[in-house]
Amino acid sequence: MSTSPSRSLDTFANPNVGRDYVIDFDCPEFTCVCPLTGQPDFATIRIQYIPDQKCLEMKSLKLFLWSFRDEGHFHEAVTNQILDELTTACAPRWMRVVGFFNVRGGMRPIITVEYPDPMTGDRVSPPVDPLRS
């Protein structure tokens, strides 16, 4: 397995597919770049999910999050993109991604996104990744 940043996400079979349980990851060293200023943005990204058939492999998740470090993203966009790519990779029963971004201009943005959408309660299919079909 590579040790370079990568958007490739590896999974493994859920060892307890008949039970709902939460897997919780914290990445306190997430970085991306502000698309307007080019300055680095720092955040803790928290990923919580209930797996269905597949679980996310931790090293590939680390390299996936690392792959955003030199890219320009608004906080809202990158948090949503992370959720979309993770749900595509593992099709969880439920997932929440929270971006706790560092203070900027005296305010700390905290972005929370969930799958399925908590506003409607609908379980929608994760986006299809044409490279994985």
Is residue 107 domain-resident? yes
pTM over 0.85: yes
pLDDT of 22-35, one tens digit each? Answer: 999 999 999 999 99
Q: What is the residue range of 65's domain?
A: 11-115
Distances (CA, A) of 92 to 69, 85, 133: 25, 12, 17
Would you please indicate which residues are annotated as catalytic (active-site) residues?
A: 34, 41
pLDDT of 36-85, one tens digit each? Answer: 999 999 999 999 999 999 999 999 999 999 999 999 999 999 999 999 99
Is residue 34 domain-resident? yes
Count of domains observed in the chain:
1
Look up the CATH number of the domain holding residue 19. Answer: 3.30.1130.10
Task: Using the predicted structure, report yes or no on whether residue 11 has a pLDDT greater than 90.
Answer: yes
Q: Which residues contact 54 (CB under 8 A, 6 or more apart)?
A: 11, 12, 13, 14, 89, 90, 91
